Chain A
Amino acid sequence: MSTNAASKEAPPGDAPVTIRVSGVSKIYGDFVAVNDISFSVRKGTVAAFLGPNGAGKSTTMKMLTGYLAPTKGSIEILGKNPGDHGARLELARRLGYLPENGPLYLDMTPAELLAFYAEVRQLGSVNKAIDRVVAQCAIQDVFHKPIGKLSKGYRQRVGMAQALLSDPDVLILDEPTSGLDPLQIREVRKLIRELGEQKTILLSTHILQEVEAVADSVIMIHEGRLVFEGSFEELDEDGDGDIERRFYALAGAPLDDEEDEDEDEHESEAN
């Protein structure tokens, strides 16, 4: 494994808390998707929301954006409750969100899509904002092509551009590197690291190496429960350097899982 983490600055311990989740649960009928989780993310931090598929990461992120309301517990982002009707609108202006699988209107071009979201967001300097995100996400080449004809990698970048459009203080990214090729993964991670210097970013992933590459802190959930919160180094509890073993132990999966091996291969290419 590479150690990009070593080049990162230490997370600012005294920075104000931007995202605070306290005792949050989401229950659908008999199914408990998220079970009493609490964590916080400080300003200027890239926090990785780690966990196997189906752990409850996306549900938690949907609650953070105000799309879903928690069954129990409270959420505070920038001091406001996203579930509160009045506060949600104000909060939504300062929040960028990339939902899982980067959903986009396939009949539009990136140019039309970004103009549409800029209008919906009531941005003042639309052209400037669009120029900025187009450069940040490197989508100049496909700017006037229908999104339906773009590759997965480009679509994901258009999704990122959409999330960055309002230059938000908080970014919530649900699996931002899924479906990208190794080179694109590296570019997106670089962008996230750059953005993380100014903004608060919570990104979800089920890939351990991603955490090491971009994150200052780790929040790990498994089967809806919080199983770890701390720095990447703290994940290596016994100091033997075998973080992977700890990860799989927390995720309750055997180390020789075939799928995980595939991901490891994929990841080592990316790094």
Chain B
Amino acid sequence: MDFNVVKAIARRELSSYLGNPAGYVFLTLFIAATGAGAFLQEGFFARNLADLALLNKVMPAILMLFVPAVTMGVWAQERRLGTDELLLTMPVRDTEVVLGKYFGALGVFTVGLGFSVAHVLVLRWLGQPDLGLMLSTYLGYWLIGATFVAIGLLASMFAGNATVAFILGALGCAGMVFAGTEPWASGIVGCAVFAGLISLLWTAVQGNTEGAGLLGLIGAVVGVLVWLGGAWKGFEEAFGKLGVDQHFYGFGEGVVRLGDVVFFIGIAAVVLYLCVFMLGRRHW
């Protein structure tokens, strides 16, 4: 692996995004949405606490929509222009391309999150926020974003165009936002994971995507049978563990648990591996 190549691709991605007025519109919307989440909610002033507890509740949902909007064009754009062919025939490895794209999009998200630190300045003006708590909360936000960027990138590789990439990415992130909130939500996420894994496995064995949709449907039905048929008692609990909330909770309380950090980075790594797999698909 050559990190100079990863750096070159990431820098191009970042400058392409930040050199585009649409990029700033998204950033502005992000600041506005997080600002509203932090301060414009009922009870912020009544609580009389200088913290981001109210934002923490809605942040995963904001990121679920914001991050796929950043990543939707990453691969769809390359495919539309035809530049993916040129990039993949350069002396670069598929892993370097995926990581370059990932770090580029993560850079855009990090810039957005960086601007939102303004909320902490507002808190300092209003009261005396605990800076350690702010730091751990922001680390949590960043880790959620790092996981969602990977999911959005995978969606961008799956989809033929940016709109579909956004919808798929938002659905993927939504799965992680809603898992663990209610038993039925965890069950549905479990069925979706079943569907995804079976259609992916089919694609890998068969060598092309033909029939993958049908297999996905069969996977979902199998998931429903396993879940509601009672074959696996811990179904809801197991898939509920994929939920962002329970892993983010500690960060919002000022506690950084190694297990939570590993969870976010682990999910991102698995999804990025799937991205490399998707890129290799062209050889089939």
Contacts and interface: CB of A to CB of B under 8 A. Distances in A.
A83 B12 CA distance: 27
A68 B88 CA distance: 10
B9 interface: yes
Contacts of B28: none
Interface stretch (B39-47, B89-97, B185-193, B213-221): B89-97
A67 B282 contact: yes
Chain B: number of interface residues, binned into ranges: 20 to 34
Contacts of A29: 208, 210
B150 to A, nearest CB: 22
A18 B87 CA distance: 23
Interface string B113-132: 00000000000000000000
Interface in B57-96: 81-83, 85-93
A105 B16 CA distance: 9
A95 B83 CA distance: 17
Interface string A97-111: 101110111111000
Contact of A103 (B4, B81, B91, B92): B81
Contact of B20 (A92, A97, A107, A120): A107
A69 B210 CA distance: 18
A103 B86 CA distance: 8
B105 to A, nearest CB: 16
A227 interface: no
Contacts of A97: 86, 89
Contacts of A99: 82, 85-86, 89
Contacts of B91: 89-90, 92-93, 120-122
Contacts of B283: 68-69, 83
B12 A122 contact: no
Nearest to A64: B89
Nearest to B90: A120
B19 A69 contact: no
Interface string A149-164: 0000000000000100
A181 interface: no
**Residues of A contacting B: mostly:** loop
Given A29-B210, A107-B20, A68 B282 contact: yes
A119 interface: yes
Contacts of A104: 81, 83
Contacts of A60: none
A8 B50 CA distance: 81
Contacts of A108: 12, 16
Residue among A90, A93, A119 with most chain B CB within 10 A: A119
Given A29-B208, A122-B2, A66 B83 contact: no
Contacts of A62: 85
A175 B88 CA distance: 19
Nearest to A116: B12
A102 B5 CA distance: 22
Given A29-B210, A116-B12, A67 B89 contact: yes
A65 B89 CA distance: 6
Nearest to A162: B86
B282 A101 contact: no
A163 to B, nearest CB: 9
A62 B19 CA distance: 32
Nearest to A82: B89
Interface string B23-64: 000000000000000000000000000000000000000000
Contacts of A95: 89
A228 interface: no
Contacts of B20: 107
A119 B11 CA distance: 11
A6 to B, nearest CB: 35
Contacts of A92: 89-92
A119 B6 CA distance: 10
B225 interface: no
A66 B90 CA distance: 10
Contacts of B87: 120
Given A69-B283, A117-B90, A121-B91, A106 B210 contact: no
B99 to A, nearest CB: 13
Contacts of B88: 67
A137 B91 CA distance: 23
A219 to B, nearest CB: 20
Interface in A56-95: 62, 65-69, 83, 89-90, 92-93, 95
A58 to B, nearest CB: 10
State the 7 A-B residue pairs at the shortest beta-carbon distance, nearest first.
Answer: A103-B82, A92-B91, A119-B8, A69-B283, A65-B89, A93-B91, A103-B83
Interface of B: 2, 4-5, 8-9, 12, 16, 19-20, 81-83, 85-93, 208, 210, 282-284
Given A89-B93, A92-B92, A119-B8, 20 more contacts: A29-B210, A62-B85, A66-B89, A67-B85, A67-B282, A68-B282, A93-B91, A97-B86, A99-B82, A99-B86, A101-B82, A105-B12, A105-B16, A105-B81, A105-B83, A107-B20, A108-B12, A119-B5, A121-B90, A162-B86
